[in-house]
Structure 1
């Protein structure tokens, strides 16, 4: 039975994981080298993508490829940062924001548009209208879900995740029903929208997407110290003065914004965030979210740019980058589950 003095000392002493390690200078140096190495990989991959296969037509190829690189960077950064934040909130490294039903809601929205308006009207729709309506729909859906589930503070975060799974199943069922009664020709056009495409990015909305992404990322970095505290758990975070309910709600809305931007721009990419976030954890080996989010973003940009280069010049567009990422990410997801089971 601990004495009152011992109990007080246990409460006041900070947890071991929050204490600065004895080899902090060495780890800081290692972190710097890791980030420098990833930055060098980004520059090398971008240089390869910009110059590969250009036969003197620089005035035509370079501007188009620069736009593609910018779009890939926007998507990769948004997915990477949102996944790292979401995994911190759920204290689970095998979950991604897609578990909340974003992908299913996007698929349902695209299906309803084609079913009601027809594929011809959807294909000729103004890109700004399409991007804005998709982004707003995903944000409104996430806001309604979060406010409903966290409104009185009596429901936990895992209940929210469970409701997201149920909502995703419901959206998928409705979308499947509409697909079954849809005209086959319309369904062929719908498939082009449901499959993530990085080669046919509409760069006319890139400025808006980049502005929204930068806004979300800046907010995420401002909240990085709070994310470091949330890693310790809800009880310890509340003890250290964190307004848990308000903070979690703000961070979930931030995740919704970043996921909405990426999904509206290229479509659902389920496993990219899972892949880059866990690789970032392994190479950085730190609890500091500033470092982890930067590393995950750099890895995502490298993966997308190199993948798109290989897809264009080696596979000659005989596959899609999204399907390759989902295949690799799916295998990696299974390996993570097996490793967690052994642990």
Structure 2
């Protein structure tokens, strides 16, 4: 490993394998991970029961702890923090991937109809089999998301089709599925409709270690996916024609990336419900803090997504206490002002450089 300078004058670390990392991106990644740990420690101490990081450390060292505090930490708060971080990483990573293949900064799993496909299948399952086990719910969500992805690939067809065509087709499918979902909620039994409406707003209330154990392999897969798809996505950022000129097999790699994004978004939807706007918000905020491309962009976007969900959950439990504020709403309260501020600062930065 040696320190060099890229063509734009920015310092990079170059490895013998040819891999290079911008020093700025490396420091941003360290900063994001530190922020996630600090937010997790803060969130662990929020709630009605007076328990915090010291009680958590006592649990690790084997020191006897109060049963109520141990329950609050290990059964309620830590699963929420871990599940929220993993779900936020998954949605943000899926959004960053979709933005590259669509070449549109507003693309995310919701706009492509992937999240809506999963939600519609789950609703149909609740209508046909209200007592369906969790495994069947996960399979239904996966089938819905993959079904929308396959439909998009079939409708768009040609490998020379633009990212805009994929995005517009996704919006059309999402609109149809949203109408179907609204009809299902309208004519379902009242209790089922209320439960689905709460779930569709996003919730970490049912997070537990069992769900985390199911979700963890996908997080490992996402890390592998960052390394496998990062180079291809940097070519897609230049456009389909340029990607093909650089030797990227668009006809094969684009469906693989799309399916990978489906797996990430579907798992998050199944675990915590839809996290609206996070797939757009996290990559933009990460890019504002530290502009990046390829694998670094995916990694920083995923970390930012996890940070935002932890912060939203901490806001929910710190400000409103026992009031069950949906995580999707608190995420919007935190994220949208940051998004507006970042866009405004970017505009001012561009004005100063011209």
TM range (shorter): 0.7 to 0.9
The aligned residue for residue 21 of structure 1 is 8
Note if 1:73 corresponds to 2:70. no
1:104 pairs with one of 99, 102, 116: 116
1:89 pairs with one of 98, 101, 109: 101
Q: CA deviation at 1:328?
A: 4.9
Q: Secondary structure at the match of 2:253?
A: helix
The aligned residue for residue 44 of structure 2 is 50
How many Å separate the matches in 2 of 1:218 and 1:167?
30
Report the CA distance shift for 1:164/1:264 in structure 2 as closer, same or farther (over 3 A).
same
Q: CA deviation at 1:251?
A: 1.0
Partner deviation per Cα, 1:74-107 (whole Å, 9 max, x = no partner): 2011111111111111112122121111233234
Q: Which runs of 5 or more residues in structure 2 are unaligned?
A: 1-5, 14-20, 53-64
Q: CA deviation at 1:333?
A: 6.9
The aligned residue for residue 127 of structure 1 is 134
How many Å separate the matches in 2 of 1:25 and 1:220?
19
How many Å separate the matches in 2 of 1:198 and 1:161?
29
Q: CA deviation at 1:154?
A: 6.1
Judge conservation of contact 1:276–1:296 (CA < 8 Å) in 2: yes
The aligned residue for residue 283 of structure 2 is 277
2:145 pairs with one of 138, 141, 147: 138
Judge conservation of contact 1:197–1:267 (CA < 8 Å) in 2: yes
Displaced runs of 4 or more, over 4 A: 327-340
The aligned residue for residue 166 of structure 1 is 172
**Structure 1 or 2: larger helix share?**
1
Report the CA distance shift for 1:262/1:212 in structure 2 as closer, same or farther (over 3 A).
same
1:301 pairs with one of 297, 306, 310: 306
Q: Which runs of 5 or more residues in structure 1 are unaligned?
A: 1-18
TM-score by length of 2: 0.79
Partner deviation per Cα, 1:179-227 (whole Å, 9 max, x = no partner): 3333334322332332210232254232222212321331232221222
Report the CA distance shift for 1:33/1:219 in structure 2 as closer, same or farther (over 3 A).
closer
Aligned length: 317
Judge conservation of contact 1:131–1:264 (CA < 8 Å) in 2: yes
Q: CA deviation at 1:25?
A: 4.4
TM-score by length of 1: 0.81
Q: CA deviation at 1:150?
A: 4.5
| Aligned Cα root-mean-square deviation (Å) | 2.9
The aligned residue for residue 210 of structure 2 is 204
1:239 pairs with one of 212, 235, 245: 245
Partner deviation per Cα, 1:257-297 (whole Å, 9 max, x = no partner): 111111111111121121111001111123x2222222222
The aligned residue for residue 73 of structure 2 is 62
Report the CA distance shift for 1:31/1:173 in structure 2 as closer, same or farther (over 3 A).
closer
Q: CA deviation at 1:60?
A: 2.1
Report the CA distance shift for 1:28/1:104 in structure 2 as closer, same or farther (over 3 A).
closer
Matches within 5 A, 1:327-338: 327-329=333-335
Q: Secondary structure at the match of 1:207?
A: helix
